Chain A
Amino acid sequence: MANSKFCVVGGGLAGLMATLKIVEAGHEVDLFSLFEVKRSHSACAQGGINASLNTKGQDDSVQQHTYDTIYGGDFLANQPAVKRLCEAAPGIVWMYDRMGVSFSRTPEGNLDLRLFGGVKKMRTAFAGATTGQQLLYGADSQVRRYEDSGLVKKFEWWEFLSIVKDSNGVCRGITAMNLRSGEVEYFRYDAVIMATGGLGLIYGQSTNSSNSTGAAASRCYQQGCHFANGEFIQIHPTAIPGDDKNRLMSEAARGEGGRIWTIKDGKPWYFLEEKYPAYGNTVPRDIASREIFHVVKELGYQIDGEDVVYLDLTHKDPEFLQRRLGGILEIYEKFVGDDPKKVPMKIFPSIHYSMGGLWSDWKTHMTNIPGLFGAGECEYSYHGANRLGANSLLSASHSGMIAGPAAINYASGLEKHAEDMPQDIFTSEKKRQSEINDNLMKCDGKENVFKLHKELGETMQKNVGIVRYNDKLNETEGKINELIERFKNVNLNENAKWASLPLQFARQVHDMMILAHVIAGGAYKRNESRGAHYKPDFPKRDDKNWQKTTMAKYTPDGPEFWYEDIDLSIVETVERKY
């Protein structure tokens, strides 16, 4: 037991919390990340983290949080997992509070709460409009403390390439590439936790960081790890459209009173407030996105010839806005040039979050590969068909805190450890991975990997986004196959492996294409509309046939799909109306 070796891949909130749990139990952890963990994508999160602290006299409760999450997810999540998540939430927020995270305060000095979409209670703790950054820095500071005392060893600027399995299919370690030298190395571990974040880059532009490629999850998938609910991709209703990235305007902007409108017959038309009087502008994301899409793309209401609507905060007190939303309003001003305190913002929906991910047993977060665990956005457990705002910083933290101890527990039951494994399983995997690099460096075809990525994004964006049609999905699968074929003919325009972005990106693009098949294929098969997955030809939710988890398994000819039952033991399934 004392010689168990643990590895966490990814140092966003999920990976840092998994690491912390393992070192607090006295074990050593090797922590891998593409860059300094303090720069992870979690830093982008703006709005906040949910917990039913019930400090606003609104009778909020764990039950209500659980219900809202299951309801918001359109009854596709395993319900006991959601319940455990919501029970843990207040403790998680307080833990961050004790780490020194600078949460915004009430006059009495308590944590302040704000309203988020899809709920009626104030449940979202926040640190201005940079909550993710603050939580990440809190967890990062704790992990640094253990790095200082020698329990954590960081492998920053290392890219996970594959797991190493023994002859029984048990995960015994990983291979990774040193992102400076470009060399591949193997590492022996008894348990490996994947916490590698989201996959927005598969769509080209999204609200995600440029390193949220999903490539690491795709690599596990290609080695036999099941992928669940891939077709459920959240579209965030309010982002600044951009060629390089769609920059998010947090849901907090609506939560703090922001109003969505466009111009109809020369007058403002508050179409969300008109259609959803109970929730108004704070309807959940999938509904807001679809309504905006409908008004702009189908009814043709543009603003100044652009495909956008207004997100308007100009009626609010500027000092209040600065305090509560300063961080995001600065982003708008920096990238657009207008002051949102004076001029309504122009926004449009954008790809934002993957509800789907590596399948894991929610009780332990172990995948179908023994010894391989999943946590955070790269894993699927909590959000069903649609995630409620501010639930993901929560689920990332929580899943890491479950996976860490579960990995210790698993390793303590092992009869044989990674160090007892034959050498050749490691050296042969290292050789396989090095050869992929060597071959890519040698390729002298004519395809540019960055252009291939652009094409992948354009197809996914066009056909596997807000509104989905089967003929278009079918077409997309053909296009992905074409891109995979053309990938064989790449040219990196590169002369050295040293810190080579083309080499690193080539590998990622290939793995994004493979995962794109899971998203498009899953969407094609699911003939219903549920949460973020919307097909006009099948506009209704179909519980009889489709209240099931989509499971995908890699085969060289594309994903093999099947469907599994969900644990619905907590709340009754009803129609989702807002």
Chain B
Amino acid sequence: MAEKEFIHLKIKRQDTPESNPYWQEFKIPYKKKHNIVSVLKEIQKNPVTADGTPTTPVVWESNCMEEVCGSCTMIINGKVQQGCSTLVDHCKQPIVLEPMSKFPVIRDLMVDRNSMFENLKKVMAWIPIDGSFDMGPGPKMSPKEHLVAYELSRCMTCGCCLEACPQINPRSKFMGAQIVGQVRLFNIHGSGKMQAEDRIEVMKGPGGITECGNAQLCQEACPKDLPLLNSIGQINRQTTWSGILKWFNSGDRE
């Protein structure tokens, strides 16, 4: 690609959760190897729009800068992804930045993803260990099982899968693929299994897996390539089985 002079950005801004969004354009001197976060940092140093009007620096979230914390997730040229690992040289210009649309906007590109963390509570995404004291090792795990668990445990609660999912909308309570992956992760584990049924019960309830519309867009949106579709399939089977077993057992009692 020929040496460019500027990086041209179009950013959707919003001052407060209640106010109306508006667009601003910026032109940043071109430099090789810029990513979206490093360009936003350039705007902080010289907060002036493309037509020369002084403005306030853009607000967004960022932390690790190497795509393991999930913070800087936003919509870049229509695709939800992390700003830190999106290289400007790979983007069509003007680069359009928008906040994620499935979460309330705090300011500019910063949104409130608290609901994802609340959902982790609903499905009991933990192992109720007896205590943090030294009781020796946990259950053994085969390298094969570990590979599946490891894939799922890299979920950084970024929200890309929710952004991509048509079922995440004001009319549905669906918690999204992220939470299904976490249920599977804790249900695989040797001691996590002991609460598997409780987690499956939640999956059967409101916002659970029955509200998945099978659009299958989550996995493609996941920056970490988590096996989300496979997990939805697995958890679907577990909920079905658990339903059948329940039915049998209730039959027993009568």
Contact = CB atoms under 8 A, between A and B. Distances in A.
Are A and B part of the same complex? yes
A499 B153 contact: no
Contacts of A2: none
A128 B128 CA distance: 24
Given A94-B135, A94-B137, A141-B125, 5 more contacts: A99-B127, A105-B141, A105-B142, A130-B154, A148-B121
B57 A493 contact: yes
A478 interface: no
Interface string A464-501: 00000000000000000000000000000111101111
B96 interface: no
9 contacts: A39-B157, A91-B133, A105-B142, A110-B140, A141-B125, A145-B124, A242-B33, A334-B67, A499-B110
Top 4 A-B pairs, shortest CB-CB distance? A91-B134, A109-B140, A244-B38, A141-B126
Interface string B151-171: 001101100000000000000
Interface in A176-233: 180, 209-211
B61 A98 contact: no
Nearest to A501: B59
A243 B38 CA distance: 8
Contacts, number: 195
Interface in B1-51: 15-16, 31, 33-35, 37-38, 41, 44-47
A39 B150 contact: no
A66 B126 CA distance: 33
Interface stretch (A264-272, A363-371, A446-454): A446-454
B106 interface: yes
Contact of A335 (B41, B85, B126): B85
A99 B65 contact: no
Q: Say which size band chain B's interface belongs to.
A: 35 or more
Contact of B54 (A95, A144, A493): A493
A93 B125 CA distance: 20
A44 interface: yes
B120 interface: yes
Given A108-B140, A109-B140, A141 B106 contact: no
Interface string B186-219: 1001011000000000000000000000000000
Given A133-B154, A144-B126, A210 B134 contact: no
Nearest to B85: A334
Contacts of A39: 63-64, 69-71, 156-157
Q: Say which size band chain A's interface belongs to.
A: 35 or more
Nearest to B126: A141
A247 B66 contact: yes
Contact of A494 (B56, B67, B125, B136): B56
Interface string B87-104: 100000000000000000
A434 interface: no
B120 A144 contact: yes
A142 B38 contact: no
A94 B134 contact: yes
Interface in A140-188: 141-142, 144-145, 147-148, 180
B138 A100 contact: yes
B101 to A, nearest CB: 18
Contacts of B106: 180, 499
A448 B150 contact: no
A493 B146 CA distance: 50
A498 B16 CA distance: 7
Interface of B: 15-16, 31, 33-35, 37-38, 41, 44-47, 54-57, 59, 61-71, 84-85, 87, 106-107, 110, 113-114, 117, 120-121, 124-129, 131-138, 140-143, 146, 149-150, 153-154, 156-157, 185-186, 189, 191-192
Contacts of B132: 17, 20-21, 24, 95, 142, 401
A44 B149 contact: no
A149 B109 CA distance: 33
Contact of B121 (A94, A133, A147): A147
A109 B141 contact: yes
A244 B146 contact: no
Nearest to B106: A499
A502 interface: yes
A4 interface: no
A101 B117 CA distance: 18
Contact of A100 (B35, B54, B127, B134): B127
Contacts of A448: 44-46
A487 to B, nearest CB: 15
A38 B65 contact: no
Interface string A395-410: 0000001000000000
